[in-house]
């Protein structure tokens, strides 16, 4: 005859073995899930790093483009001409020091004697639409003076200040570049010296 107690013990052993196998299976599943989570996190981190590297590369390329592939308008020289005539001229020599032409260039020059603007004469304009400014080509802006104004400036009896403003565009026509520069005549050296400036379009 079968032993009921022995059968119960066998059933319990089978049950314990089944439970142990189940727990082991659950632990294995958890280990697999943890590994999958770690791999997923690593993939997300790798994607984020790739995106950052792409953005960084774009920023560097854009900076290189801004520095190397854009026009740079600047003042080469400010000097007097026709000083032995009744109407000497103040000449501003400005140029494009960049590698590509400037578009839609607008130039404004205001000369002040002891803080008072020298008025334009004979239809002379204080600003002009230069349009295209090619690299390396001299461009000139003229301010006409009276003999008396010139003599007061070069003798030091009056302070001659020249304010120069330039607005222009580069290859991306939506972007505007600016230059604001001030120079004054120093009679001690018989020449013009800088007195401030800015490349900010909002600067006064």
Give me the tens of pLDDT residue by residue for the chain, a chain 204 residues long: 555 666 667 777 777 777 777 777 777 777 776 776 667 777 877 787 887 777 777 777 666 665 567 899 999 999 999 999 999 999 999 999 988 899 999 999 999 999 999 988 776 777 888 889 999 999 999 999 999 999 999 999 999 999 999 999 987 666 889 999 999 999 999 999 999 999 888 754
Our measurement of the distance from residue 194's CA atom to the centroid of its chain's CA atoms, rounded to an integer in Å, reads: 23
- pTM exceeds cut of 0.75: no
- Tell me, what's the pLDDT at 184? 96
The 8-class DSSP code of residue 156 comes to T
Average pLDDT of the chain to the nearest whole number: 84
In the three-class reduction of DSSP (H, G, I as helix; E, B as strand; rest coil), residue 169 is classed as strand
Q: Which long-range contacts (CB under 8 A, 24 or more apart) does 47-50 make?
A: none
């Amino acid at each position: 005859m079968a032993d009921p107690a022995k059968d119960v013990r066998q059933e319990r052993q089978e049950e314990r073995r089944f439970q142990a196998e189940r727990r082991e299976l659950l632990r294995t599943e958890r280990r697999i899930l943890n590994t999958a989570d770690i791999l997923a996190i690593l993939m997300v981190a790798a994607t984020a790093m790739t995106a950052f590297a792409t953005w960084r590369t774009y920023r560097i390329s854009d900076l290189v483009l801004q520095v190397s592939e854009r026009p740079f308008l600047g003042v080469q020289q400010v000097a007097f001409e026709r000083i032995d005539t009744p109407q000497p001229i103040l000449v501003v020599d400005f140029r494009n020091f960049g590698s590509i032409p400037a578009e839609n260039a607008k130039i404004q020059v205001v000369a002040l004697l002891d803080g008072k603007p020298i008025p334009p004469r004979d239809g002379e304009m204080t600003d002009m639409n230069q349009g295209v400014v090619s690299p390396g080509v001299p461009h000139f802006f003229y301010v006409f003076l009276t003999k008396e104004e010139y003599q007061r400036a070069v003798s030091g009896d009056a302070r001659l200040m020249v304010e120069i403003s330039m607005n222009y565009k580069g290859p991306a026509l939506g972007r505007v570049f600016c230059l604001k520069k001030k120079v004054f005549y120093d009679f001690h050296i018989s020449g013009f010296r800088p007195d401030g400036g800015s490349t900010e379009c909002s600067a006064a």
